[in-house]
Chain A
Amino acid sequence: MKIAEIAGGTAATLNVRSLDRPLLPAPQLEQEVALVRSGDQALLQMGGDVWAVVGVTPSDAVALTNLVDCGLPTIAYVARASTDSLVVETRRFCQALTIPEPFQVGVDDKVVDELRSNHRVSGTVADMAQWLADRLFLPPAIGVPAAMRRLVVSADNRGRLDAFRIYGLRIAVDVRRVDNKLRLERVVRGGRNTPARLTLATASISLVDATVAAELHGAVRTTLTEAVANGGSYLKIWQQYHQLEQDIVARRAQTFGAVKYKDCQMQRNGAWRFVLEPVDDLLVQFGPQSDWERFELMAGTMAPGQPQVGAVSKAKAKQPQFCASIAQIDAHKNSVEFEPPDEDEEQPAPPQSGYLWLSTSGDDARLARRARAEEALRTGNCPLPQLGLLMEGRPAPAARRQRVNIAGPALKSVISAVFRPKRPTTRQLAAIEMALNTPDVCLIQGPPGTGKTKVITAIEQCLAVLADEGVEHSHRILVCAAQHDAVETVAKLTEVFGLPAVKVGRRRHDAYAGPDAAQIFASERIDLLRSGLKQPAEAERLDRVRKLVLACSRTAALPAEQAKRIREVLDELDGLLAAPLRDRALAHAAELVRPVALADPEAAALLLQAARGIRVEHAAFGDDGPQQARKALVRLAQALTTDERVFLERCAVAEPEPFLPWMAQGRAIRDALIDRLAPPPPNTQPRLDEATRSLLLEIVDHVDRRRAASRTGIDATVAAFIDDLEGDPEGVREAIERYTVVLAATLQQAAGKVMRQVRGVDFGQVVFESVIVDEAARANPLDLFIPLSMASRRVVLVGDHRQLPHLLEPDVEREMADGVEKGTVEQQTLRAVQASLFERMWLQLRALEQQDGIARTITLDAQFRMPKALGEFLSQQFYERNGDVAIESPSSAEQFHHELPGYANRGEPCAAAWLDVPADDGDEIRAVSKSRPAEATAIAREVHRLIDLDSKLTFGIIAFYSDQVDEIGRAMLKHGLTESVLGRRNWRVAERWATTCDAKGKTVERLRIGTVDAFQGKEFDVVFLSVTRSNWLPADTEAQLRIKYGHLMLENRLCVAMSRQQRLLVVVGDLAFVEADAAAKPLRALQAFVALCRGPHATIR
């Protein structure tokens, strides 16, 4: 707390001036000063200087004398300053109290909860203590040791500190002595009822962790410090990695430098286009950033000399600068066009001319989150400090807790419901139990198809039921993964307390990605609420009518539309509207449509014809005048006025004569009759006449009266709930976000700004009781540190280190490898970096189990995704060989049945097949990436042959190389499976083949073409795997083998690629190339697959 923020004490303001010399150097505002008496002078002490001062006015002089003479403790600071006078604010207290020996005030669990729920403070106890200290303690007085802080307290007269209140900045805390230790009792907002008698205490005070876990954590931190200090510390290696990445980011920005632009213009879609000063090699300059969407450029008037990571962030913080990613570069026009801002993004306008440079702000934020998490784990300043120890391979003390029994009534039904209609396997149950009972961390290895997502859901549901920490239910669990796809998959399957998990944070440049969980929740509720009713409840009907009527009375419309609306209103109000009003409304509607109130159009036409037939000329009357008049009298009987009738009756009986004097009036009578009977011209202009408006208002009055009478009923409440669900999607999302037990996010976004907002945390680290990480073996350890540093009770890591490796920054990995060659980086450091944190912990925790007896790892051992033959192949080739348990395949063969022509062996559907594309059909094309057009053509042809046979079947086409993915995509163009589009990749799956409905009626992806990385976590009925490699390169040395076979030698990639199919896996490639002797070792798994294809459940074509 700053001096000027002090609470309590008697306030006074003094205006003083120096007696002898100017007040130089000029005092700073809010600087603390001391006023003391020396002889008959008042002295003002400020910093190291002293001035003799007097009051500027007589009253100031009196006040100054009183102040320096009273001897009471006072705090004074500068409120306004000039060189010859000062306005000083003072606070006088009743007594001073100095406690020379250090004393500690404990912060216990109760206060921690209170701070979390009432004051939006989160993080560790140390974070909270810091937050409190910032608000409660004043800096030491001038000339006093730094440890001696001041605080305003309400102590008793004798200065005893057994129970007292400390007054701080907008808060006050109550402290009490319990068991001879001081403890914070509660934290209150404001604490403004400041009593007159307050004490200014000076003490070496500190707030300390007095939670139950404090003792345990203290010991852990000490051991952790020792472990990290030793050479070869795992956490220190990542510190080094982090530093390298930070350097690379800065270097990249430096290398790009700045590009001068001479003009910029905003396009209609909000995107900016910059015209650059002539550059020799525009594409070359932008070339290294060829993955444009990852990079953003900033614009400003001044080119940054050497863009430093921190410097740019600070500049950005001061004033928002234009920053966007590139959409298009036109080398001929020398211009660069940027992506338009997202819908809810405000993009500041760039200067008309200036410079463009590479922004590092995204990297800054990413790296800062990692750095914070890494430091928290390394120093033990996180809610589970023992995680750092476990990562270092040291045993960690475990808190004693009551064991949760999943066979108990509370959890058994929850688990059964998750797995229904099947039953969980023994291993799945054991995994759930282990996750619930782990003292700190639990690793679940989930080989392909072993139901790890179900296990995650069951763990979430059990945790929600247990509520074992006694804190609020909402936001207790964080589920995260490295990539958005994985987060969305796991979030979609989560439902706790009937609420879905809410994904916090979104993909970039992805304003709308289909219906979210909140929308689905709302529409399910609406369907449920309406399904039981024959017609909507009265309250809902009244509400709808009210809106309908309001809409009609507010806007003009065509009369026919108004009539339709009125009838709609009457239909809706069936039985709820008074009969006279209803009749009137009906009549009005009829009048709006047909003002002449004629009957059907045919009859109207006959009437008109009769009127037109009336003869009013002498010559014509002579022909058939009386007959026509008689006809008109009959047909128009109902429509005639008296005058008309008289005239016609006269005509009917008149003898045709050369001249009838009364015939002159006949023309006017006939024309008036025709005008009246002719249909009016259609009214094409919207209008709102007074009669309609007043009728509508009358109806709304009636509806409002009826609503008022029933608004407190159950129906009205349900109607309002439905209306909220239907009409306020953001409100639904916010409400679900508020109550949901599970929040989901990517590893990085778990620590983002949006997450803090959702959790309501203003200060300190966001904390979750339980953190579950899916696909944990894919996560970069530094990213994985982020959620690990947030868990207060347990971490559950779910993944499989036999599948794709973790994501490292290629530049950093390359630099480390260079370092190994140069001798600046140790080989074991590089090896440690290349293994995922999941794999490392897996090995270490298994070893630790031998020491501490705590089981923290488990492998799910039954797969349900694919036929037994493939399941066994997978188990043997990728798991059992590495010492893992055998994976069973308990599902029956019927579940994987298919009738794909060409893929049957002795009448039985095949599970595996090899489609041979011999070398004669064409070699691979080798560039940075690899491709083989012959295979692409074969796959395109085969998929085209099969895909339309069963609309429910889904197809996945996997290649190890991105060039081959493109080759396949292009080959499919001519079959219509893909279609041309503009963009970096010039094709996409044609809309017709993009999605289908599975057996459960759920919309699923029907055809996907991609590299292995795009397939982890996905499954398709039929998978085509393109081997791609087919060459005549030598294979004598290890290096040559790597060049010849490339990705085919990476077992974890093969494991993923060969485990995505539910019914059939077709490997497409050069069979002879794979079966060659030289390939026996490097392509062991593929050769085993060929052997499988020669067996009973498969085929080779």
Chain B
Amino acid sequence: MQPFADPNRPFELATPVLRLKSGKDPNAKWVLWPVFAWRVVVPVPKKRKLDLFERAMLGLARAGVTRLTEMANHVKISQDLSALVVQGLQNAALVDPTGRPTARGIKALEELDDDLPDEMRVGFVLTDGFTGKLWPRFLTGDLPLADVELDDKGRPILLSGSPGDPWRDPTFSVLPGVRDSLIRTRPQVGDVLRAAKRHRRQRKLDDLSDDDDFRAVPQMQRVSFIDRIGQSYQMALRVHRHPSGDWMVDDPFGHGEGVDLRARMEERLDKLPGLRNWLAPLIGSGLAATTLGDLRMRAAWAVEARLTLAIRIHADLYALLVAMQRAMFEAEADDAPRDKWDDVLVKAQRATERVFHTTLKQFRRTKSPLHRKLAQADLKYNALQLDTIAADLGFESPLPNSLKSVRRGKVQFAEESGGGSLRPLVVLALLYADVTPEHPLHKCALMHRDLLRRLDALAGARDQAAHDGVDQLSDRVTEHVETVYAATEMLLPQ
């Protein structure tokens, strides 16, 4: 292990590894992430009896400087300010009228000078190797250097458990490439204090006691950096399967899921095929499988093939449709978890809602609000009215109960806000089509008599997907996706 490598290439396989948590989990994968560690010294917080200007002026007075101009010049502050401070010191009897410190003043200074070494804590803060951003954590105690052996390719294997028969965790090192610009700027003291505060707060939220915990984060008032240059280390991160079927990166300090770390790792997946391959058992695609970028391209192609290039006019809808199609491809993969189908449904409904939003924008010119055509409480009246409108337009009638019993309030919300969920939007579209001959629902009924029923089924399936206990069937989801395409095709002018 080389603790201090080439300054231009601070990270390599041999860079020492930090590891805070271990445990036997054959299904977990370990990834080594580049970090810079900065050593800091933290004195015990004290009440500030003198502010920094008072301390400086009093100190200068003790050193025999009594002229205001000189005092101000020594510490580069304005003369007016130094006069103000000295006046305050005189009022507090810390300086006598001739500008010399009084016995009380000297005592006050000596108290400040006596920073006892025993009262100082030493710790580390970590900055991300790629972004230079400070991790919101403060590491006290010795650096947790991992026990490591190297495999035949020089890759670190983490050792834990009994020394005689250790548990071996192979790793993948995320090493910055030549194109990665490493940021090794020393963090600001204020940022360190904030990071420590956030870490302390997180420990409190996680109910971690500070008693007898050598990793407890101390209270801090000030911080001094020891290092001018951060030392490079690899932080061992545990990646594992979440109960939801998704993958997750653990916070190495034991504070649950590292959502931010996962996001950073996702960024690297496309750039580092090796990493994708390494995590394939967890994230569901190997090196041979398509990357996320490829998948997105395939999805875009599929959407354009289905709806022609004209769909790009509706940029936001286009993005939603591509997302839906991409989720579809992901769900179709052999190793995809079943809940991926739920994902498709969620995206399908969003895309359909956007189709209706867009249509609504074009036709929302009628002056009197149309939701008023529905009764506030008389659901039977509403159902009858909607069945009639649907039949007049040429759709299958009667409509499904769940569609025609949508409450007026939801329709009103959809009309006034231009938002709302699928069923109220469908009802609103029916109301608009009833009074607007050019509304595309007229044409739509000729082509897809069952479209309203299918849209209702989509909304129902989406609702089920949001709840526990119902698995989606892939062929049904495929039908719903087809409904989305049909609705888009018919309702949007292209």
Contacts and interface: CB of A to CB of B under 8 A. Distances in A.
Interface of A: 266, 268-270, 280-281, 283-284, 287, 290, 331-333, 343-344, 464, 473-474, 497-499, 511-512, 515, 519, 525, 528-529, 546-548, 550-551, 554-558, 560-561, 564, 682, 684-686, 700, 711-714, 716-718, 720-721, 723-732, 734-735, 738-739, 925-928, 970-971, 973-974, 980, 986
B51 A550 contact: no
A973 B421 contact: no
A980 B319 contact: yes
Contacts of B16: 558, 684
A287 B463 contact: no
B190 A519 contact: yes
A795 to B, nearest CB: 25
A331 B362 CA distance: 27
Contact of A558 (B3, B226, B319): B3
Contacts of B24: none
A728 B53 contact: no
Nearest to A333: B466
Contacts of A547: 41, 120, 224, 226
Nearest to A697: B117
A730 B192 CA distance: 12
Contacts of B361: 925, 927
Interface string B407-422: 1011011001110110
A684 B55 contact: no
Given A511-B194, A515-B188, A926-B364, 14 more contacts: A283-B420, A498-B77, A551-B41, A554-B122, A555-B141, A555-B142, A557-B142, A561-B4, A561-B231, A685-B147, A716-B59, A726-B224, A735-B52, A928-B416
Contacts, number: 197
B41 A717 contact: no
A714 B60 contact: yes
A290 B1 contact: no
B308 interface: no
A831 to B, nearest CB: 29
Contacts of B75: 525, 529, 717-718, 721
B374 to A, nearest CB: 13
Interface stretch (B78-86, B327-335, B391-399, B443-451): B78-86
Given A711-B113, A714-B74, A726-B189, A925 B362 contact: yes
Contacts of A682: 1
A927 B361 CA distance: 7
B80 A720 contact: no
Contact of A497 (B63, B78, B189): B78
Contacts of A473: 80, 84
A700 B120 CA distance: 14
Contact of A499 (B81, B117, B147, B194): B81
B327 to A, nearest CB: 16
B147 A684 contact: yes
B346 to A, nearest CB: 9
B42 to A, nearest CB: 9
A547 B228 CA distance: 13
A498 B194 contact: no
A965 to B, nearest CB: 15
A215 B52 CA distance: 44
B122 A551 contact: yes
A499 B41 CA distance: 29
B206 to A, nearest CB: 8
B56 interface: yes
Contact of A283 (B41, B81, B85, B413): B413
Interface stretch (B164-172, B197-205, B240-248, B285-293): B197-205
Contacts of A730: 193, 221-222
Contacts of B4: 560-561, 564
B410 A550 contact: no
Nearest to A1033: B365
B153 interface: no
A980 B320 CA distance: 12
Nearest to A561: B3
Contact of B3 (A333, A560, A973): A560
B413 to A, nearest CB: 5
Contacts of A684: 1, 16, 145, 147-148
8 A-B pairs with least C-beta separation:
A498-B78, A717-B59, A728-B222, A735-B51, A724-B52, A332-B466, A497-B80, A284-B409
Contact of A727 (B142, B224, B362): B224
A874 to B, nearest CB: 35
B491 interface: no
Contacts of B142: 555-557, 686
Nearest to A519: B190
Contact of A512 (B81, B194, B226): B194
Nearest to B358: A925
B224 A266 contact: no
A343 B148 contact: no
A528 B205 CA distance: 43
A558 B418 contact: no
Nearest to A526: B76
B88 to A, nearest CB: 8
Contacts of B117: 546, 550, 700
7 contacts: A333-B466, A498-B80, A560-B3, A561-B3, A720-B113, A734-B51, A973-B315
Contact of B122 (A512, A555, A726, A738): A555
A660 to B, nearest CB: 41
Contacts of B198: 343
Interface in B316-373: 316, 319, 361-362, 364-365
A725 B53 CA distance: 10
A343 B145 contact: no
Contacts of A711: 113
A386 B136 CA distance: 53
Interface string B174-208: 00000000000000111001100110011001100
Interface in B90-134: 112-113, 117, 120, 122
B307 interface: no
B257 interface: yes
Given A266-B205, A287-B417, A281 B409 contact: yes
A980 B462 CA distance: 24
A724 B56 CA distance: 10
Contacts of A721: 52, 55-56, 59, 75
A284 B122 contact: no
A268 B205 contact: yes
Contacts of B319: 980
A478 B77 CA distance: 22
B255 interface: yes
Given A721-B55, A729-B190, A739-B53, A284 B256 contact: no
Contacts of B120: 547, 550, 554
Contacts of A720: 55-56, 59, 112-113
B39 interface: yes
